């Protein structure tokens, strides 16, 4: 036990308190359920800073909470292993979670499931903290699954809406595919190393053949791809928008999707030893560029942000793939702040528009909600990578590292992605906050800035979105104590050139967006309606038809075809056997019950039979 235990368990306390309130319908808990969350996660946040402070002095904290069952050499211990990597994650998770809690007080204010929401939030935070604290693969897997479960609950929070329920199931199933590979990976680790402890496994990783390590890292990567919504398992994340907006902020910024990146960084000794890294990089680059192209065409404010998350996670995976683990984590770190900021900002917009999410029906909102707009623009600039905002430093490091390590194809597409990012984020900002007002008078009436409880979190998140980038040097030094960073040195002038290219492309992207959507010099129809570009536009608008393809091949094809065969077999063979057995069993019960006459004489007779039976048994054996 120790401070790590407290950090992880406090949100669980919040979950239990709020959860009991829900379960037993305690009225007095309902309106107060946010207190549990704020106090516990706030304390966790404070403790996380304390831990971070301790770890910066070069200490690695280890704790053992309890040993569960030990059998056959498998020890299932729960505990904490806090090095710089974990310390950073703790701060990020609790920081974002705390402000999401605060924000939810306003956003979920009128929802009948107010207390349930806070209960789930506590569970979600707890799961993620357990995950990042884990000192072994088993706890990692526990946290991994717990995160999946709580995301399922939260995405399907409004389960009465069919779309929300569908999205929750989709997220769960897509994650299961990844998790299946992941658990195989964990088993493989145990098989090969005879232990699940990070320390033992990583210290022996050098002695294992590269082929074995490749297999393990491939399986683990499967889990990461599912959880971090990378190509080709990315389709659940945009649909996860059906959950309440604060949840989207939490999922996209700090908890769920960060888990994959964190896990790969944590397992860097295994990934470094195998041949898998180029695949990681390729997946990252494909997602980074592909998602950015889709983001250009979407009209739902949250969907655009969702594709931007996919794209940014792609950057992180690209960084992992070229061996720049620290840069991947740094991007995760900065991204957490501005993505939470953007989502909460979009929540304010949706709140003000009374639930409208289509950006074609917005416009000119700057006038009505200045704080939200200002914060949203800060987040946008950070995401686009305009200096000196946070995203500039982290993204630029990844792009430069791709160049420095000689991955020129990666570099090309990542730079292209940066241009596209500027384009779709510029489009979003101009369409939502500027230009003519396209909403009708009904929405106009209660158009207002959100209450302080929903704007203060934005301001608090805006601060690190502006300044977190300057921590880059410290961050790099700090994290190098736990994870490697294989980046070749390049000359200063070359680096300057690369920065210039990236930044100018980002600015160019914003400029194009302004030309089309602010000054309206060119109509977007020029692109969407022209006979050459229209098929491409449709391809992007329909997200490369991934959903349709998956639906056709797996859901209708494989599942439906096999399903019919199984259904037949199930109905006539299995059910026959099962019902037969059940019938026979219950018949036996009936027959035996006839012996239960309630007459004492019979019982005494049975007694006599029993004595004789015992004698016979003694003689026979």
List of residues contacting other proteins (CB under 8 A): 23-25, 66, 69, 585-586, 588-590, 592-593, 595-596, 598, 600, 602-604, 606-607, 609-611, 613-615, 617-619, 621
Cβ proximity to other proteins: between 565 and 617 the closer is 617
CB of 194 to other proteins, least distance (A): 22
b/e per residue, 243-263, with b = 16+ CB within 10 A?
A: bbbbbbbbbbbbbbbbbbbbb
CB of 577 to other proteins, least distance (A): 14
Contact 294, 544 (CB under 8 A): yes
Cβ proximity to other proteins: between 554 and 607 the closer is 607
Cβ proximity to other proteins: between 532 and 594 the closer is 594
Q: How far is CA 261 from CA 315, 464, 487, in A?
A: 10, 21, 18
CB of 583 to other proteins, least distance (A): 11
Q: What is the DSSP string of 541-560?
A: HTGGGHHHHHIIIIIIIIII
Residue 102: other Cβ atoms inside 10 A: 22
Contact 250, 155 (CB under 8 A): no
CB of 586 to other proteins, least distance (A): 5
Helices (H), 434-545: 441-445, 452-467, 472-479, 492-513, 525-529, 534-541
Cβ proximity to other proteins: between 23 and 409 the closer is 23
User: What phi and psi, each to the nearest 5 degrees, are found at residue 233?
Assistant: -105, 30
Cβ proximity to other proteins: between 523 and 602 the closer is 602
Contact 332, 258 (CB under 8 A): yes
Report how far residue 293's alpha carbon sits from residue 192's, in angstroms, rounded to the nearest whole number: 41
CB of 21 to other proteins, least distance (A): 11
CB of 61 to other proteins, least distance (A): 25
Examine residue 388 and say whether the peptide bond preceding it is cis (omega within 30 degrees of 0).
Answer: yes
442's CB contacts (< 8 A; 6+ apart) are: none
Q: What is the DSSP string of 335-402?
A: HHHHHHHHHHHHHHHHHHTTT--BGGG---GGGT-HHHHHHHHHHHHHHHT-TTSHHHHHHHHHHHHH
Cβ proximity to other proteins: between 496 and 614 the closer is 614
Helix axes 245-253, 325-352, angle to 10 degrees: 170
Cβ proximity to other proteins: between 532 and 621 the closer is 621
CB of 17 to other proteins, least distance (A): 15
Tally DSSP H helices, then E strands, for the chain. 29, 2
CB of 74 to other proteins, least distance (A): 15
Give the 3-state secondary structure of residue 200.
helix
CB of 141 to other proteins, least distance (A): 17
Strand pairing of 74-82 and 61-71? antiparallel
Report how far residue 581's alpha carbon sits from residue 517's, in angstroms, rounded to the nearest whole number: 70
CB of 585 to other proteins, least distance (A): 6
Cβ proximity to other proteins: between 493 and 595 the closer is 595
Cβ proximity to other proteins: between 72 and 531 the closer is 72
Residue 523: other Cβ atoms inside 10 A: 11
Cβ proximity to other proteins: between 500 and 602 the closer is 602
CB of 465 to other proteins, least distance (A): 42
Cα 140 to the center of its chain, rounded Å: 14
Question: What angle is formed at CA 253 by the lines to CA 249 and CA 255, rounded to 5 degrees?
Answer: 100
Cβ proximity to other proteins: between 5 and 275 the closer is 5
| 243 torsion bin: left (phi>0), alpha (psi -120 to 50), beta (else) | beta
CB of 191 to other proteins, least distance (A): 24
Cβ proximity to other proteins: between 53 and 66 the closer is 66
Shortest CA distance to 265 belongs to which of 214, 336, 205, 217? 217
């Amino acid at each position: 036990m120790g401070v790590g235990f407290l950090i992880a368990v406090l949100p669980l306390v919040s979950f239990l308190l709020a959860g009991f309130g829900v379960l037993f319908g305690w009225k007095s808990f309902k309106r107060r359920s946010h207190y549990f969350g704020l106090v516990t996660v706030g304390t966790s946040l404070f403790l996380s800073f304390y831990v971070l402070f301790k770890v910066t002095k070069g200490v690695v904290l280890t704790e053992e909470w309890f040993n569960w069952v030990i059998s056959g050499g498998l020890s299932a211990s729960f505990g904490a292993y806090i090095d710089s990597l974990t310390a950073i994650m703790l701060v990020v998770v609790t920081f974002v979670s705390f402000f999401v809690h605060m924000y939810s007080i306003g956003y979920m204010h009128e929802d009948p499931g107010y207390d349930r929401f806070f209960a789930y939030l506590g569970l979600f935070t707890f799961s993620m903290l357990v995950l990042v604290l884990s000192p072994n693969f088993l706890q990692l897997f526990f946290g991994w699954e717990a995160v999946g479960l709580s995301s399922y609950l939260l995405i399907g929070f409004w389960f009465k809406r069919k779309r929300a329920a569908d999205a929750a199931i989709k997220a769960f199933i897509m994650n299961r595919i990844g998790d299946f590979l992941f658990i195989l990976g964990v088993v493989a680790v145990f098989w090969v190393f005879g232990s699940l402890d990070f320390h033992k496994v990583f210290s022996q990783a050098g002695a294992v053949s590269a082929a074995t390590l490749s297999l393990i890292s491939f399986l683990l990567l499967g889990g990461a791809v599912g959880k971090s919504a990378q190509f080709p398992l990315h389709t659940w994340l945009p649909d996860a928008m059906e959950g309440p907006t604060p949840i989207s902020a939490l999922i996209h910024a700090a908890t769920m999707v960060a888990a994959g990146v964190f896990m790969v960084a944590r397992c860097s000794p295994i990934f470094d030893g195998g041949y898998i890294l180029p695949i990681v990089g390729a997946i990252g680059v494909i997602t980074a560029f592909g998602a950015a192209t889709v983001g250009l065409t979407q009209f739902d404010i949250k969907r655009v942000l969702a594709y931007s998350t996919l794209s940014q996670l792609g950057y992180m995976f690209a960084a992992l793939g070229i061996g720049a683990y620290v840069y991947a984590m740094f991007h995760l770190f900065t991204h957490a702040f501005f993505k939470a900021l953007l989502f909460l900002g979009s929540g304010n917009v949706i709140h003000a528009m009374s639930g409208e999410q289509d950006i074609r029906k917005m416009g000119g909102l700057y006038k009505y909600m200045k704080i939200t707009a200002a914060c949203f623009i800060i987040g946008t600039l950070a995401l686009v990578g305009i200096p000196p905002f946070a995203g500039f430093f982290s993204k630029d490091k990844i792009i430069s590292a791709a160049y420095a390590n000689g991955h020129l194809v990666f570099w090309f597409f990542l730079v292209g992605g940066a241009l596209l990012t500027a384009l779709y984020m510029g489009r979003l900002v101009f369409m939502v906050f500027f230009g003519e007002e396209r909403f009708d008078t009904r929405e106009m009436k209660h158009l207002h800035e959100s209450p302080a409880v929903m704007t203060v979190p934005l301001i608090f998140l805006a601060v690190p979105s502006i300044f977190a980038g300057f921590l880059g040097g410290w961050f790099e030094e700090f994290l190098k104590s736990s994870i490697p960073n294989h980046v070749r040195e390049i000359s200063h002038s070359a680096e300057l050139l690369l920065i210039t290219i990236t930044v100018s492309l980002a600015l160019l992207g914003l400029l194009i967006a302004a030309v089309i959507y602010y000054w309206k010099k060119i109509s977007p129809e020029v692109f969407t309606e022209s006979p050459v570009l229209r098929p491409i536009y449709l391809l992007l608008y329909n997200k490369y038809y991934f959903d349709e393809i998956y639906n056709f091949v797996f859901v209708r094809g494989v599942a439906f075809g096999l399903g019919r065969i199984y259904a037949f077999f199930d109905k006539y063979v299995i059910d026959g056997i099962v019902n037969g057995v059940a019938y026979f069993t219950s018949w036996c019960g009936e027959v035996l019950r006839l012996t239960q006459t309630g007459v004492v004489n019979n019982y005494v007779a049975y007694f006599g039979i029993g004595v004789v039976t015992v004698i016979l048994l003694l003689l026979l054996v």
